[in-house]
Structure 1
Amino acid sequence: MGNSGLKQHYETAKKTGTLKLSQHKLDEFPQNLRALAPLLRTLDLSENKFTVLPNEIGDFTLLKQLTVSHNRLIGLPDALGALVKLESLNCTTNQIASMPSSLTKLNHLKQVNLSDNRISDFPLVFCGLRHLDVLDLSRNRLTTVPDAAASLHVTELNLNQNQIATISEKLADCPRMKTLRLEENCLQLSSVPVRILKDSKISILALEGNLFEMKQFANLDGYDVYMERYTAVKKKLY
């Protein structure tokens, strides 16, 4: 689609601060997009053909929501660290293997979705971000959850459909974590840390589809303590 076809989108964006350019077969920023950098709070570039985001993304300093899902991105630029107002980052379904260290500056992030990428090392750049509520790393290539992940402040961590065989017991020290999703991984029953059952705030621990039967899970030391938290949360919901 040529720039003429995008003109109406731009006019609307000038009034609303929101620009949706999904499904336009874009592989680079349209020229006119740069002029909107001082105005945009929401930018949706999903379902295009981007392999990289240009460094100009760092000029969009008012952005609160950035969606680049369903592209062909192999990474994210350091310039993303300039988006200090960003609250939501959606990069699902790309080919991203690692995160730039500059993301540690994004102190307002609340939600990050990196599902369905090629991440093999746990992205510790999100540790220490105190407002981050949800981190979705499902459908990647993770094999371990390291000690350093204990400094995550998320309330929910989604690690479904990875290749995780080991989890640090220090994950029990996460100050706000309530939900930990580990379905369809490579965990043995002995790999489930007892401390997470006994000493954490986690009240939803999803473990279906690992290398043990769920009925065996009920035999673990600390299971009863975990179930007390689980039941207390369920009662609040109903």
Structure 2
Amino acid sequence: MNGHNNIHSQLTKSLERILEDAYLSGELKLSGRKLREFPKPVKFDLSDTVLADLSKNRFSDVPDEVTTYVYLEKLLLSQNVIRSVPETVGGLQSLTYLDLRLVAI
């Protein structure tokens, strides 16, 4: 059981580091993490994010948080299980690239 807690702690730490890097760089890189839910960036304001790479995960919906990133230019959602794209994605006025490859909508 202790090994499981240690792995969970390492994953949480690495996610926190990714969120901190996103806060500093404007690039949220969560590709290939097998996520079903979007991590809550409690400590960091990611509203200035310009790139969100959420590809190769298990998201069934576009995370609501991402649709509030007003400066978002690139949204990568390929290889997820997204059922539909909400209209709020169309309201992202800075968005110039949306990747939905290999998504069965």
Instruction: Decide whether the 8 Å contact of 1:3 with 1:30 is kept in 2.
Output: no
1:51 and 2:64 aligned: no
Instruction: Decide whether the 8 Å contact of 1:58 with 1:83 is kept in 2.
Output: yes
How many residue pairs get matched?
96
Instruction: Decide whether the 8 Å contact of 2:23 with 2:44 is kept in 1.
Output: no
Letter of the aligned partner of 1:45 in structure 2? Answer: L
Query: Any stretches of 5+ residues in structure 1 without a counterpart?
Result: 97-238
1:60 and 2:66 aligned: no
> Are residues 86 and 34 of structure 1, via their aligned partners in 2, closer, same or farther at CA, if it must alter by over 3 Å?
farther
State the distance in 2 between where 1:91 and 1:26 align: 17
1:25 and 2:34 aligned: yes
* 1:76 alignment partner in structure 2: 85
- Runs (4+) of structure 1 exceeding 6 A deviation are none
State the distance in 2 between where 1:94 and 1:35 align: 29
Identity, % of aligned positions: 31
Give the CA RMSD over aligned residues. 2.0
* 2:5 alignment partner in structure 1: none
State the 1:82 CA deviation.
Answer: 2.2
Instruction: Decide whether the 8 Å contact of 2:20 with 2:44 is kept in 1.
Output: no
What TM-score, normalized to structure 2? 0.80
Instruction: Decide whether the 8 Å contact of 1:56 with 1:79 is kept in 2.
Output: no
Q: Give 1 or 2 for the bigger CA radius of gyration.
A: 1
Letter of the aligned partner of 2:55 in structure 1? Answer: S
1:41 and 2:72 aligned: no
State the distance in 2 between where 1:34 and 1:47 align: 25
State the 1:33 CA deviation.
Answer: 7.3
Letter of the aligned partner of 2:17 in structure 1? Answer: Q
State the 1:4 CA deviation.
Answer: 2.0
1:14 and 2:17 aligned: no
State the 1:55 CA deviation.
Answer: 2.9
- Matches of residues 181-220 of structure 1 in structure 2 within 5 Å? none
State the distance in 1 between where 2:41 and 2:12 align: 8
Larger CA deviation: 33-42 vs 8-17: 33-42
What TM-score, normalized to structure 1? 0.37
- Matches of residues 1-238 of structure 1 in structure 2 within 5 Å? 2-32=11-41, 35-96=44-105
State the 1:66 CA deviation.
Answer: 0.5
